[in-house]
Structure 1
């Protein structure tokens, strides 16, 4: 009976022990099938010409073209602008929800969370009703200044795309920042306030240094998502706003230049992986510098 009891935890009630490789194999096969194989197919397509022959001419032609360089610059502009705006707006909303008690704060936090479940094109559709050619802004301006008043086409400009992405991606900053603020010891705030520090100084010297991992996690996630965002740019109808995802669509679906689209897609994947690798290295150094407590808080929002 003793030997049976001792053998049960190791073998699972007498069942034969399953090698560790058997548990790793199924998810590994799924990853290779649904991620590895498509990526290998895209990479293979990028080194062929339109006739299917092996050629690296697409790489040199696409990566040095003004179209690709312009799309790369526009993608970086929109991604950086959207990330900066989401960090500013998300920090403000998180601080208000965490430190400013008001009726309905919990409901407001839940409403912000619901944006995470909304398709991105619905945000663009809402912007169309607000800032489109027949939107609320045009109606207000024409009713005040007359029918001949010029209303800027905000929605179809890079600024309109950035504003739409800020609106959609801000909750990705609010949620980890709220988790970081919830883990912040209130004693630190009370001690700082008792020593005469004002609210702004408390935020600058106490709060933000403690929630830096949360800001880094949220900002890095938003940067990666905006770098690869396609739906918002497409639904704004901004014909002059060509980002890398839009360029992939144009070359692959419109121009039927599959090798060129594969080159752009491979370059974008490489850029995303490079940014993600840089984020993980920087995040690991930040956790090591912040010590055990900072590491545990960072793990909550990583």
Structure 2
């Protein structure tokens, strides 16, 4: 008799009255369940570091900008005082026009340079494209120092001028003017526009360019009708990033020595370090942070649409 038949026969035997009921079959033993750490536990360390390194100082800045009054509450007196000052209004205006001007200059120059690198074959073009990535890691004051060595009061250009003409002083003194700050920012931030543009151009179907050229379209028309529409998302993402960074730039303005150029970061430095007016410095910092966060939200939205 087979085992199946034996099991069937055994199951078919009726249970006598008074016999205990058979025990129910227990759960089949299996591998022990692994104890996973909740996700909130892994999130606690980075949140704690973020809170200590960023959120806590930010709270202190906001708290310092609202000084306690005699009644134990808070007073917003520093805000109208700062907003009414001509120095703050001039700094805000200078910051905005420098950031916008630098962004426009970076967009135009970056688009032209990216076109040349991507579509004009020349020896060393690939090395230049790699250098753009390296350039992004340079600190801003390094580029400013390089410009000072060339166009500064005792730079090479003025030295060459005095050697040739015998004059006591050279003609190049524009680095200490708003135009010099604008030039330095465009020089430093242009690669931040070129990088997304070069990535966008590498994804462009060259067949479209060949078809447009075979139909008689000139270079300007190809750029306007074929290349530029494909580059608009990258231009918007790079331009938004440059605008945010120019708004908060401090090193370039400081190292150029432009005493007549006061931006919001320079005003924070002046109020806190030179004048020891910490409530006013915190008010300016809060305004700068609010503008920066707004522009950063805009940048993230543009980058998300551009697929960056």
Please, what TM-score do these two structures have when normalized by structure 2? Answer: 0.84
Structure 1 residue 112 corresponds to structure 2 residue 128: no
The aligned residue for residue 255 of structure 2 is: 235
Q: Distance in 2 between matches of 1:47 and 1:191?
A: 64
CA contact (8 A) 1:49 1:57 kept: no
Q: Please tell me the root mean square deviation across aligned C-alpha atoms, in Å.
A: 2.3
Cα deviations by residue, 1:175-206 (Å, 9 ceiling, x for unpaired): 11100111111122222222221111111111
Match of 2:96 among 57, 73, 76: 76
Question: Which ranges of structure 1 fall in alignment gaps of 5 or more residues?
Answer: 8-13, 288-297
The aligned residue for residue 36 of structure 2 is: 17
Structure 1 residue 58 corresponds to structure 2 residue 78: yes
Structure 1 residue 216 corresponds to structure 2 residue 236: yes
How do 1:1-302 and structure 2 match up within 5 A?
Answer: 4=31, 14-48=33-67, 54-147=74-167, 151-282=171-302, 287=305, 298-299=306-307, 302=308
Q: Distance in 1 between matches of 2:98 and 2:161?
A: 27
Q: Distance in 1 between matches of 2:268 and 2:248?
A: 11
CA contact (8 A) 2:153 2:172 kept: no
Q: Distance in 1 between matches of 2:177 and 2:132?
A: 26
CA contact (8 A) 1:155 1:238 kept: yes
Larger Rg: 2
CA contact (8 A) 2:69 2:75 kept: no
Cα deviations by residue, 1:16-70 (Å, 9 ceiling, x for unpaired): 1232322333322222222211111100000017999842111110112100000
Report the 3-state secondary structure (helix = DSSP H, G, I; strand = E; otherwise coil) of the residue aligned with 1:147.
coil
CA contact (8 A) 2:237 2:302 kept: no
Question: Which ranges of structure 2 fall in alignment gaps of 5 or more residues?
Answer: 1-27
Q: 1:70 to 1:251 in 2, by over 3 A?
A: same
More helix by share: 1
CA contact (8 A) 1:50 1:257 kept: no
CA contact (8 A) 1:58 1:260 kept: yes
Q: 1:185 to 1:44 in 2, by over 3 A?
A: same
